[in-house]
């Protein structure tokens, strides 16, 4: 994540499971929010590489990068072994996103009990805006959204109605 100016950086956090009935509408709203931020000067977008919303967000940034080639996707991953244990299809998607990212940062070489939270804090610590998909208030996503608010980030929850 860019150290010098967090005002042009947005991070993402969200649940791993997105109901199929909500997927398309959420994806469209996510892309619209990212595009709105691009018009406000945001250039860097940080994602944590998890399945679900992180993956959706990364793909949205990659699609928009074709229209706005100055934007950058930065993956902040908890560890080099994050995808160990994932099924083949999800590993393929994960590796595709990693290859297309502009930068990949690892919090830890191996999994440690705190590496996921450290990844989430690092994303927020280097951002001005956090786009989230938060439904469950007792989750890692809730922790990250609350941490982002405590750090003064503008938090946009796509699970809430417009």
pLDDT one-digit tens code per residue, 101-160 = 999 999 999 999 999 999 999 999 999 999 999 998 888 899 999 999 999 999 999 998
pLDDT one-digit tens code per residue, 81-102 = 999 999 999 999 999 999 999 9
Token pair for 136:
């469950």
| Domain 11-157, CATH class in plain words | alpha beta
Top mean-pLDDT range of 16-20, 64-68, 80-84: 64-68
DSSP string covering 95-153? HHHHHH-SEEEEEESS--TTHHHHHHHHHHHT-SEEEEE---SSSHHHHHHHHHHHTT-
Token pair for 81:
């072994």
- Map out the domains of the chain as residue ranges: 11-157
């Amino acid at each position: 994540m860019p150290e010098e100016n967090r005002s042009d950086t947005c991070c993402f956090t969200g649940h791993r499971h997105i109901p199929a009935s909500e997927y398309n509408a959420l994806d469209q709203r996510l892309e619209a929010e990212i595009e709105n931020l691009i018009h406000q000067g945001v250039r860097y977008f940080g994602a944590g590489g998890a399945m679900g919303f992180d993956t959706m967000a990364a793909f949205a940034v990659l699609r928009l990068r074709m229209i706005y080639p100055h934007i950058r996707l930065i993956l902040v991953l908890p560890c080099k072994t994050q995808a160990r244990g994932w099924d083949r299809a999800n590993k393929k998607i994960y590796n595709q996103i990693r290859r297309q990212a502009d930068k990949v940062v690892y919090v830890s070489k191996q999994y440690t009990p705190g590496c996921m939270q450290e990844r989430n804090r690092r994303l927020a610590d280097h951002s001005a805006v956090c786009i989230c998909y938060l439904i469950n208030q007792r989750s890692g996503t809730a922790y990250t959204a609350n941490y982002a608010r405590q750090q003064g980030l503008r938090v946009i929850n796509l699970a809430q109605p417009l």
